[in-house]
């Protein structure tokens, strides 16, 4: 696991060093560079050593030094790939997974990514062909940010190195609109104009002034009735967990006590005798699942560590905002980072349950919305048309009217679910650009069946998962120099489950396909419960007027932040504190954006202004 960065084109002295310095937390063990002024290429990395601790340094080269790579991630099938490459005459100098990349490039060129099973973002420079090749893994587990100007192309594992490379920190208003509607910024855009995320399952080839981007994978678009689906899921999940235990350092797991994380821990204990587990609890009983995590730990005999979080967790918010490249309005970032820091004291790798909800349907909305959708199909379309203006102007629970009006269209319904049924931000947000949500939904439907549930799960898998959930886990764990691995996102498992019809994945109970797959592994108490995740009482924290939050809501701070209406925000905050309405989620979005602008954008604007002067 590493942080990578690079430049191609016009290279200024010292730029690559400044870029890589931003990534030290991602790789505290080592750094490495390849700089070739003749060809205008500079590549750098910071390494978190997991495999081949003594000889796995980067960059890596082919036999004659003409192909060089920097890599972030893990390739779980690297040993079998290495055997095939050695049989073809390739010579290796280390036991690291990274080295297979340069030889795979020599064998397969742009087809390289389809041979990889893992999580990855990498860059390869081929001196003889004078081309640069970048790729990102199928599900978007590892991030890759890119930018282009007239003189050069640059890439990095985070957004900050690209600002260090000289990108002007101007807010992308269209992406900002998406952020306030969704709570995250979906690929390919970022909140900085001119910087994009390379989409999941995409590669990029730059050569002789040309730029070719291609999608090398997508989830299957059609479903097939499966017999023995639970047995196959179990087999694929067992294989995935076993592969993700490969490491030359200690490996543990995040454990909530829910079905997903408990299944992972149970399978880990079949391969390891000394499993370490880590859970987070909350002082407010209604948010606390620590007792369930302890129960599962006791059942499997793991060495368990529990962390309790209260309102003081907000004190690390500035660090989080600075680390997350762009704002992410998921309060779970607080316990995720704190738990990652605690886990890093004992292990260097953790397994985590991200992706299970998007595959097996874990959201409480999924079946409720599908049930309402079936009922609405019996009603005349004119009813939904009539509800739309009511949804806009009714003072009585307008989100209920918006929801009812959306039931006439899958696309509108997916948009409402994606935004968590929250109020539109028009009352406090002033942007010229419109968000891209309708286009994103249409794009995701290309890999979906025609029925609602499959469409919703496909959108979640395509956008919610990489741009919110995986973004959160990657940046939180990497801030703690901890590697997170996600067994549910093995692409073979994803391909199989995505083709299972939704009537085999939903039967009115919680995740029946997964539950049946691990029914002999987990205790009945765990099989019969749902997990609430890392929910936090942020609405209480705002009403407590905790300084760690209110510092970003002062009139002066709001007035200094573009695109938000300071007067409207103060009115929302007062309304919330007076218990008139729960506006906690809107305030959390605002706090994260205002803090991000203050801690990330404004300092870079000052630095660039000093450089110009």
| Whether the Cβ atoms of residue 453 and residue 506 lie closer than 8 Å to each other | yes
Instruction: Single out the catalytic residue among 2, 22, 131, 577.
Output: 2
* Strand partners of residue 135: 122, 203
Active site residue 22: no
Q: Distance between alpha carbon 384 and the CA centroid of its chain, in Å? A: 34
Task: Look at residues 241, 237, 238, 240 and name the one whose alpha carbon lies nearest to residue 253.
Answer: 241
Q: Where are the beta strands (DSSP E) in 79-169?
A: 118-126, 131-136, 145-148, 152-156
Task: Look at residues 305, 307, 304, 343 and name the one whose alpha carbon lies nearest to residue 476.
Answer: 343
Q: What end-to-end distance do the CA atoms of the chain give, in Å? A: 39
Rounded Cα distance, 301 and 272, in Å: 11
Q: Are strands 30-36 and 152-156 parallel, antiparallel or unpaired?
A: unpaired
Other CB atoms within 10 A of residue 14 CB: 8
Q: Which residues have C-beta within 8 Å of that of residue 304, sequence separation ≥ 6?
A: 255, 276, 277, 278, 279, 293, 294, 297, 298
DSSP summary character for residue 189: B
Rounded Cα distance, 422 and 588, in Å: 12
Q: Are strands 60-61 and 41-47 parallel, antiparallel or unpaired?
A: unpaired
E strand or H helix at 105, and its extent? helix 100-108
| Whether the Cβ atoms of residue 134 and residue 73 lie closer than 8 Å to each other | no
Crossing angle of helices 173-182 and 437-444, in 10° steps, is: 70
| Whether the Cβ atoms of residue 12 and residue 37 lie closer than 8 Å to each other | no
- Look at residue 440 and give its three-state secondary structure: helix
Task: Look at residues 534, 531, 549 and name the one whose alpha carbon lies nearest to residue 309.
Answer: 534
Task: Look at residues 250, 152, 139 and name the one whose alpha carbon lies nearest to residue 201.
Answer: 139
User: Tokens standing for 481?
Assistant: 């120099």
For residue 188, say if its preceding peptide bond is cis, omega within 30 degrees of 0.
yes
Please compute, for residue 445, the number of CA atoms within 13 A of its CA located in the half-sphere on the CB side: 15
Q: Which residues have C-beta within 8 Å of that of residue 556, sequence separation ≥ 6?
A: none
Task: Report the b/e string of 133-172 with b at 16+ CB within 10 A.
Answer: bbbbbbbbbbbbbbbbeeebbbbbbbbbbbbbbbbebebb
| Whether the Cβ atoms of residue 76 and residue 247 lie closer than 8 Å to each other | no
Q: Where are the beta strands (DSSP E) in 348-431?
A: 349-351
Task: Look at residues 142, 144, 169, 143 and name the one whose alpha carbon lies nearest to residue 154.
Answer: 144
Rounded Cα distance, 332 and 140, in Å: 19
E strand or H helix at 277, and its extent? strand 276-282
- Look at residue 6 and give its three-state secondary structure: strand
Instruction: Name the residues annotated as catalytic.
Output: 2
């Amino acid at each position: 696991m590493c942080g990578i960065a690079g430049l191609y084109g016009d290279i200024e002295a010292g730029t690559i060093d400044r870029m890589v310095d931003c990534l030290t937390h991602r790789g505290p063990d080592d750094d490495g560079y390849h700089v070739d002024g003749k060809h205008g290429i500079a590549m750098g990395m910071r390494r978190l050593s997991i495999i081949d601790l003594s000889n796995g340094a980067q960059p890596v080269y082919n036999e004659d030094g003409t192909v060089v790579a920097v890599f972030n991630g893990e390739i779980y099938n690297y040993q079998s790939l290495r055997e095939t490459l050695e049989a073809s005459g390739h010579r290796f100098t280390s036991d690291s997974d990274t080295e297979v990349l340069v030889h795979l490039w020599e064998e397969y060129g742009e087809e390289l990514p389809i041979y990889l099973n893992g999580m990855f973002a990498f860059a390869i420079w081929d001196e003889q062909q004078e081309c640069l090749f970048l790729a990102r893994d199928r599900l978007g587990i590892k991030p890759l940010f890119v930018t282009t100007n007239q003189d050069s192309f640059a890439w990095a594992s985070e957004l900050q190195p690209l600002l260090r490379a000289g990108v002007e920190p101007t807010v992308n208003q269209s992406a900002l609109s998406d952020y306030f509607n969704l709570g995250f910024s979906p690929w390919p855009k970022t909140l900085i104009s001119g910087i994009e995320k390379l989409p999941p399952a995409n590669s990029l080839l730059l050569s002789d002034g040309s730029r070719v981007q291609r999608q090398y994978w997508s989830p299957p678009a059609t479903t097939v009735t499966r017999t023995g689906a639970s047995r196959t899921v179990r087999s694929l999940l067992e294989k995935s967990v076993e592969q993700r235990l490969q490491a030359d350092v200690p490996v543990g797991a995040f454990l909530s006590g829910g079905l997903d994380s408990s299944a992972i821990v149970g399978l880990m204990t079949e391969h390891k005798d000394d499993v370490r587990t880590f859970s987070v609890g909350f002082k407010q009983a209604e948010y606390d699942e620590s007792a369930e995590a302890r129960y599962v730990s006791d059942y499997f005999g793991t060495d368990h560590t529990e962390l309790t979080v209260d309102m003081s967790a907000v004190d690390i918010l500035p660090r989080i905002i600075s680390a997350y490249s762009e704002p992410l309005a998921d309060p779970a970032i607080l316990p995720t980072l704190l738990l990652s820091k605690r886990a890093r004291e004992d292990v260097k790798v953790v397994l985590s349950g991200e992706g299970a909800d998007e595959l097996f349907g874990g959201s409480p909305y999924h079946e409720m919305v599908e049930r309402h959708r079936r009922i609405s199909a019996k009603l005349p379309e004119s009813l939904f048309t009539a509800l739309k203006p009511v949804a806009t102007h009714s003072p009585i629970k307008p989100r209920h009217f918006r929801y009812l009006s959306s039931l006439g269209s899958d696309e509108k319904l997916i948009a409402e679910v994606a935004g968590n049924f929250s109020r539109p931000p028009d009352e406090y947000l002033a942007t010229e650009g419109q968000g891209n949500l309708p286009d994103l939904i249409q794009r995701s439907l290309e890999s979906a069946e025609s029925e609602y549930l499959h469409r919703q799960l496909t959108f979640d898998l395509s956008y919610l998962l990489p741009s919110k959930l995986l973004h959160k886990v990657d940046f939180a764990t990497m801030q703690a120099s901890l590697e997170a691995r996600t067994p549910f996102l093995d692409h073979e498992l994803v391909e199989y489950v995505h083709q299972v019809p939704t009537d085999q994945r939903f039967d009115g109970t919680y995740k029946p396909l997964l539950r049946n797959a691990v029914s002999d592994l987990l205790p009945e108490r765990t099989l019969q419960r749902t997990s609430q995740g890392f929910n936090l009482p942020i609405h209480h924290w705002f009403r407590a007027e905790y300084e760690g939050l209110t510092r970003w809501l002062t009139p002066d701070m709001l007035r200094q932040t573009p695109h938000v209406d300071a007067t409207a925000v103060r009115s929302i905050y007062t309304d919330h504190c007076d218990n008139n309405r729960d506006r906690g989620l809107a305030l959390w979005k605002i706090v994260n954006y205002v803090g991000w602008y203050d801690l990330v954008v404004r300092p870079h604007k000052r630095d660039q202004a000093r450089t110009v002067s």
